Amino acid sequence: MVNIEEFILSVVKRATEELYGTSDNIQIQKTRKEFEGDYTVVVFPLLRASKKSPEATATELGEKIVASVPEIKAYNVIKGFLNLVVDASFWAARFKEISEAENYGMAPTSGRTIMIEYSSPNTNKPLHLGHIRNNLLGYSVATILKANGHNVIKVNLVNDRGIHICKSMLAWQLYGGGETPESSGMKGDHLVGKYYVEFDKHYKAEIKALVAEGMSEEDAKRQAPIMLQAQEMLRKWEAKDAEVYALWERMNGWVYEGFDVTYKAMGVDFDKVYYESETYLLGKSLVEDGLKKGVFFRKEDNSVWIDLEADGLDQKLLLRGDGTSVYMTQDLGTALSRFEENKLDDMIYVVGNEQNYHFQVLKLVLKKLGYEWSDNIFHLSYGMVELPEGKMKSREGTVVDADDLIAAMIGTAREMSDELGKLDGATEQEAAAISEMVGLGALKYFILKVDPKKTMLFDPRESIDFNGNTGPFIQYTHARIRSIMRKAEDGGISMDGFDRASLLQEEVELIKALTEYPATVRTAGEQFAPSVVAAYAYDLAKQFNGYYHDHSILKEEDSDTRALRLKLAEAVARTLKSAMALLGINVPERM
């Protein structure tokens, strides 16, 4: 297929070379909507060579291009900018290419292998709204990278060890009375999360009692009996105490079963799952290597550190005095093993912005150890998700549970779809499937349309609005087009002859929008930005709806024009479906 930007660039370069003997510093951009034209040439960099005013240079260049390039039918000059108008026949040829293309917008194989880590839950609580943003972002970026031709490996690192895990275990042991997912009817991750909250409740009560007896709050936090018991349980776990280890395996098993249900509901998956309990020792050999190279140093208490003050950071602990690992130790070892085992070109970590410093240090330490591939580690940092009521707190049980939110979104989608008559004539099975599609589509789109770096406010009801910049609006546009296509098929209306019809300006604009899809996918991949795809899908849907409002499709009397409009509608639906799939969103055939 013709790359339009490259074509225009080559046209302008050829003309400037012939006129001024140079083609350096050519700047081309899309013409702003308030001006006539398709592409704009910035002529200021050419003035030294042309030795003329901006207006005279632009006029001379415009005349040269129009006279020698049949695809450029006209030009106009606004100050120092040359606006080029592309002939409709050029856009008609591009539309024919789009109509015949398989997997339109998808890039050929790049040969690059990229690993992307997302989700990274703790096994002491169920997934919540923050995890939803992480999972949806990671899965969508992975899908977009695949569309750019890369070999993508999706991985999850489960945080299944540490004091927080022992808190849930101890509380269940002390207050659970043998409760299980089967006996309670609760999902396993919810049950374990219940005891994490229970631990915090008893811990606070003990602190309060100790403070009342005259102990300082800091000492009370350290000396609270339940905290000391949790710390002892962690020591036993690290020593592979049979009883503690069996309890850990049992309760983690409950959580994994619960997670799998939530992941399936969200529509995300992984190619490989890593467990922190299996990776936390990986970095120790790297630390020893760093000590030998003089990159790290050992303090009197036997702990190992790196001094990054010369790099504008601080000193960073890599190994505790008792020889146990910290997160950084683990991440160093995991990164090395992943790059070596999978021959990675890039490694992306989807982790909240509270870990920005951690990943800055990780890359720097690996660089100092001599691993040049550390430059190919990227931290896809994202902001927190807040609700109208404020922030969430896991320990206090005030988080928005992922399962509850998904169920509520589907329920709200059903309610609003019913109110608007979107489910009229649908069977119960069809209505349920559409409600699930719309509810999840609303949730995913609302989250993914926001730049990841921004903290976002999530309003469930606003996200299901069938008008405006929402998933349901785009889904409904697709369903509307599919309805038109079914009616055309039932009526025996052919799309033959679409390439004989003359194009209206609105049709040219739609074709131009369609031609921008491959570049949109490429940009989204380069920037790891699903929001770029979301914005494109919304603009395309909005543009088609405006066109459909003004121009009849099925009732058009001229057969070639009708065929063109049907073919155009079909291409829009296909592109919307493809774009939404990059966001992990399904679109309904009917609504």
| pLDDT tens digits for range 237-249 | 989 999 999 999 9
Q: What pLDDT score was predicted for residue 393? A: 46
| pLDDT over threshold 80, residue 20 | yes
Burial label, 96 (beta-carbon count in 10 A; 0-12, 13-18, 19+): middle
Of 33-37, 104-108, 582-586, the least confident? 33-37
Residue that is written with structure tokens 């209306």 in the block = 493
Side-chain half-sphere CA neighbours of 20 within 13 A = 23
pLDDT, tens digit, for every residue of 435-463?
A: 999 999 999 999 999 999 888 888 877 88
Pairing type for strands 272-275 and 385-386 reads unpaired
User: Across all residues in the chain, what is the average pLDDT?
Assistant: 93
What the block records as the tokens of 215 is 């102990």
For each of the domains in the chain, give its residue range(s) and CATH number, in order of start: 4-86 (3.30.1360.70), 162-267 (no CATH), 284-324 (no CATH), 402-582 (1.10.730.10)
Reference 438, options 309, 575, 590, 294; nearest CA is 590
- Residue whose token pair is 């008008």: 467
Confidence of residue 395 (pLDDT cuts 50, 70, 90): very low
Q: How far is 292 from 274, CA to CA, in rounded Å?
A: 29
Question: Is the Cα torsion angle 485, 486, 488, 489 positive or negative in sign?
Answer: positive
With bands split at pLDDT 50, 70 and 90, how would you rate the model's confidence at 389?
Answer: low
The lowest-confidence range among 23-27, 82-86, 270-274, 522-526 is 23-27
User: 587 is written with which tokens?
Assistant: 């679109």
Q: pLDDT confidence of 537, banded at 50, 70, 90?
A: very high
Mean pLDDT of 498-509: 94
Q: Mapped to the 3 state alphabet, what secondary structure does 393-419 carry? A: CCCCCCCCEHHHHHHHHHHHHHHHHHH
DSSP character string of 530-543: HHHHHHHHHHHHHH
CB contact at 8 A, 84 and 38: yes
Residue 500 predicted with pLDDT over 50: yes
Q: Kind of pairing, strands 72-78 and 113-117?
A: unpaired
Please tell me the predicted confidence (pLDDT) of residue 434.
93
Collect all residues with Cβ–Cβ distance below 8 Å to 357 and sequence separation of at least 6: 313
Collapse the DSSP code of 317 into the 3-class scheme (helix H, G, I; strand E, B; otherwise coil) and give the result.
strand
Q: What angle do CA 11, 16, 21 make, to 5 degrees?
A: 135
Question: What sign for the dihedral angle of Cα 184, 186, 189, 195?
Answer: negative
Structure confidence at residue 464 (pLDDT) = 85
Residues in the chain: 591
The SS3 assignment for 78 reads strand
Kindly give, in sequence order, each residue whose CB lies less than 8 Å from that of residue 299, ignoring residues fewer than 6 positions away: 305, 321
Instruction: Provide the percentage of residues in the chain whose pLDDT is more than 70.
Output: 98
Quick one: average pLDDT of 100-111? Answer: 95
Q: What is the per-residue pLDDT for 197? A: 94
Q: Does the pLDDT of residue 347 top 50, yes or no?
A: yes
Strands (E), 453-517: 456-457
Instruction: Say if CB 88 and CB 501 are below 8 A apart.
Output: no
CA distance 359 to 378: 8
User: Which burial class, exposed, middle or buried, applies to 32 when counting CB atoms under 10 A from its CB (0-12, 13-18, 19+)?
Assistant: exposed
The per-residue pLDDT for 24 is: 86
**Average pLDDT of the residues in 406-416:** 91
What distance in Å separates the CA atoms of residue 124 and residue 167, rounded to the nearest whole number? Answer: 8
pLDDT range class, residue 398, cuts 50, 70, 90: low
505 neighbors 427 (Cβ within 8 angstroms): no
pLDDT exceeds cutoff 80 at 66: yes
pLDDT digits (tens, 9 = 90+) for 279-317: 888 888 899 999 999 999 999 999 999 999 999 999 999
